[in-house]
């Protein structure tokens, strides 16, 4: 299944089955225990129950003459509550549909567990595996649980998780050793150390996330909920005290009329849609193949000021590949390439393999027999070199220029004059030079190039328009770092950075009151990912990076942070826009109901009846009907979110005040008037 098809599948999850289930859930959610979690709609439900009792027992309440009106009010209030429940159930239904599709990947998988101190293999169900267990996974087998490759190299099909059909290479060591349970090995064989216990795997966390019923409310959502509850309480006090005040003026206000007034004045629109907005926001994140550990991380993404990006594997592909050979002094490229190949015969690193691949592409040959019987020298951080000691006594070395240079000098060799200029030229172009030497003789340089991922410059320009500053952190030298930064289009860079340098940058930005996002994929990125307000780890990265972050990108695309930021902003904007619209609605409904209630007793109130509604009863019913109808009409907007375009916060605020503030006043005036015309005909 291609990534496009996977995304289309996710977006098409709003089907008839989900809608029908949401209708059923709308009635089940009428349970007062459930409704109490939403104070605004709980008040509406309580009012609905009171009006129902007055309709069923009119003699007891002395409302025999207004049974028809009471019944109409009851029906409208009931649908108001049901529409609010439907919005939440619909959002939850999409999440549960995604969870069901993920659960299909959690089929019972058997695992080849290594037992008896590595001397035997025991086939066990994957559910019996525990953190630290070792398993062997061969071609065609499913990886039984989250883990990291500790031996071997294999091509892995991750389409069940990411939707990307192209297999990815996983190998021991480095930043591409992490594997996910439920994915399939396409070729070769690997030994995997399990890193999660049952119920704690990657898929388990995704299922828990997308099942909206288990979603915890974010701080922003809790604050808004508190505000809505406070407004509801204030209007409740106002309406309760209105009855005795009206009685003093010899105006008789029926309880259903007071309940209708209360429902129209409290922020029912945003109260009914608030939960759906939050659930839908999390749903949109998963549609982009991003696993967010909490809603708080998504909201924080919407307020990001600074973004710290690791270079290797994030801005660039990460695997430095041989792209050229540069002989120095009087050496020939054929000799340089030959010795470079000999030094790479037993080198299983991506760099080593790329040297042999470059030789094939160039049609150059080398003497493979030279490597037979030789002792391979692995790369070490202390020596910064690798190579081979040949059977005839010669020593071949390949590694960092200064390290190989010192090694040649120690052997009694002479360094060609153009070594430094040639290596600086490679570094200035964003490449990494590797020197190749045999005993006392330095033959030249291998030009390793880490390519910037396509489209990065345009993506960073988009971030700039959002007002987000981008900083690239890399362990490369300043020349290489400057070239990559210029090619990628980031605002700033930090060269030769260590893990503590990344944390220092994040803390410095945070000390200035800024929210910081960090993307990375390596173990050395883990501390910075944990420190950042939003940490986005690449799925192709290490287990440590993914555990430290509060978001994981399943596609391992660092530019995905732009979508995450946009979704975060969209979530905040949608909540703010609908809150503005809801409160603005109340202003218009005030002009509909208040004059209708008091005009007969106080003729001067007619001046406020600017809508010129037909009668007091039709005005109340029209306002109540509009209040109910507007909720389902706004469900698509709550689910999809307010359209976001990169612009400054002040421009966004101005636009939304005009569109949703002014629109929130105008739309009810038009809507209530049209409904009133119909109600008058009906009455």
- Residues annotated in the binding site for Mg(2+), as ranges? 521, 525
- Which candidate, 379, 312, 352, 321, places its Cα nearest to that of 541? 312
Tokens 């605004």, located at residue: 40
Cα atoms in the 13 Å half-sphere on the side-chain side of 34: 15
In sequence order, what DSSP letters do the residues of 106-155 get, joined into one string? ----EEEEEETTTTEEEEEEGGG--TT-EEEE-TTPBP-SSEEEEEEEEE
Q: Using CA atoms in the order 638, 641, 643, 648, what is the torsion angle rounded to 10 degrees? A: 110
116: left (phi over 0), alpha (psi -120 to 50) or beta: left
10 Å Cβ neighbour count for 663?
A: 17
Binding residues: 347, 351, 379-386, 398, 521, 525
Q: Using CA atoms in the order 401, 404, 409, 415, what is the torsion angle rounded to 10 degrees? A: -40
> Distance between CA 192 and CA 177 in Å, rounded?
9
Catalytic residue among 146, 283, 310, 557: 310
Q: C-alpha 35: how far from its chain's center?
A: 29
- Which candidate, 82, 104, 231, places its Cα nearest to that of 583? 231
CA distances 341 to 153, 232, 383, Å, are 21, 76, 20
Q: Residue 536 belongs to what H/E stretch?
A: strand 534-538
Quote helix, strand, coil % in the chain, to nearest 5: 55, 15, 25
In sequence order, what DSSP letters do the residues of 600-664 get, joined into one string? TT-GGGGGG-TT--S-HHHHHHHHHHHHHHHHHHHHHHHHH-----S--HHHHHHHHIIIIIIHH
> Distance between CA 87 and CA 637 in Å, rounded?
11
Binding residues for ATP: 347, 351, 379-386, 398
User: Are the C-beta atoms of residues 599 and 605 closer than 8 Å to each other?
Assistant: yes
Would residue 310 show up in a list of annotated catalytic residues for this protein?
yes
- Catalytic residue numbers read 310
């Amino acid at each position: 299944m291609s990534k496009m098809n996977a995304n289309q599948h996710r977006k098409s999850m709003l089907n008839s089955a989900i809608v029908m289930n949401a209708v059923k859930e709308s009635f089940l959610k009428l349970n007062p225990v459930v409704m109490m979690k939403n104070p605004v709609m709980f008040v509406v439900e309580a009012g609905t129950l009171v009006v129902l009792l007055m309709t069923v027992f009119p003699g007891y309440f002395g409302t025999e003459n207004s049974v028809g009106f009471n019944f109409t009010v009851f029906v409208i209030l009931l649908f108001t509550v049901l529409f609010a429940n439907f919005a939440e159930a619909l959002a939850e239904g999409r999440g549960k549909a995604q969870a069901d599709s993920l659960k299909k990947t959690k089929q019972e998988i058997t695992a080849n567990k290594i037992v008896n101190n590595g001397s035997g293999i025991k086939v066990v169900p994957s559910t019996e595996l525990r953190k630290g267990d070792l398993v062997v996974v061969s071609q065609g087998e499913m990886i039984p649980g989250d883990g990291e490759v500790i031996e071997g190299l294999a091509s892995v099909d991750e389409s069940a998780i990411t939707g990307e059909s192209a297999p990815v290479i996983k190998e021991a060591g480095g930043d591409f050793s992490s594997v996910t349970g439920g994915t399939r090995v396409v070729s070769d064989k690997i030994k995997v150390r399990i890193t999660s216990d049952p119920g704690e795997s990657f898929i388990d966390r995704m299922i828990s996330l997308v099942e909206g019923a288990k979603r915890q409310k974010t701080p922003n959502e809790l604050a808004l909920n508190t505000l809505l509850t406070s407004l509801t309480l204030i209007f409740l006090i106002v309406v309760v005290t209105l009855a005795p005040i009206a009685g003093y003026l010899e105006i008789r206000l029926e309880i259903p009329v007071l309940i209708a007034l209360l429902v129209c004045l409290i922020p029912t629109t945003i109260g009914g849609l608030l939960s759906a907005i939050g659930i839908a926001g999390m749903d949109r994140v998963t549609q982009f193949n991003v696993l967010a550990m909490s809603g708080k991380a998504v909201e924080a993404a919407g307020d990001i000021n600074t973004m710290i990006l690791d270079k290797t594997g994030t801005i660039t592909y990460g695997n430095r590949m041989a792209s050229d050979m540069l002989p120095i002094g009087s050496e020939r490229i054929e000799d340089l390439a030959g010795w470079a190949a000999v030094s790479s015969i037993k080198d299983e690193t991506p760099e080593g393999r790329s040297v042999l691949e470059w030789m094939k592409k160039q049609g150059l040959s080398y003497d493979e027999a030279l490597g037979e019987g030789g002792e391979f020298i692995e790369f070490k951080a202390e020596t910064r070199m690798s190579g081979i000691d040949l059977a005839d006594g010669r020593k071949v070395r390949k590694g960092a220029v200064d390290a190989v240079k010192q090694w040649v000098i120690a052997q009694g060799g002479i360094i060609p004059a153009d070594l430094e200029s040639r290596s600086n030229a490679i570094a200035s172009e964003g490449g990494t030079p590797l020197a190749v030497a045999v005993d006392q003789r330095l033959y030249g340089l291998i030009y390793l190039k880490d390519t910037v991922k396509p489209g990065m410059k345009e993506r960073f320009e988009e971030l700039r328009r959002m007002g987000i500053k981008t900083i690239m952190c890399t362990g490369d030298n300043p020349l290489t770092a400057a070239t990559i930064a210029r090619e990628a289009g980031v605002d700033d860079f930090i060269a030769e950075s260590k893990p503590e340098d990344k944390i220092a940058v994040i803390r410095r930005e945070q000390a200035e009151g800024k929210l910081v996002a960090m993307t990375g994929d390596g173990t050395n990125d883990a501390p910075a990912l944990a420190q950042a307000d939003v940490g986005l780890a690449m799925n192709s990265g290490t287990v440590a990076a993914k555990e430290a972050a509060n978001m994981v990108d399943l596609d391992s695309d660092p530019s995905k942070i732009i979508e995450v930021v946009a979704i975060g902003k969209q979530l905040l904007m949608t909540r703010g826009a609908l809150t503005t619209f809801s409160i603005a609605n109340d202003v218009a409904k005030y002009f509909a109901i208040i004059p209708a209630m008091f005009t007969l007793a106080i003729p001067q109130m007619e001046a406020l009846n600017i809508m010129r509604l037909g009668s007091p009863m039709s005005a109340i019913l029209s306002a109540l009907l509009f209040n109910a109808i507007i909720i389902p009409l706004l469900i698509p907007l709550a689910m999809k979110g307010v359209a976001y375009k990169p612009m400054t916060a002040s421009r966004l605020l101005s636009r939304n005040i005009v569109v949703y503030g002014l629109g929130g006043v105008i739309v009810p005036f038009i809507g209530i008037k049209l409904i009133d015309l119909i109600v008058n005909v009906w009455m």
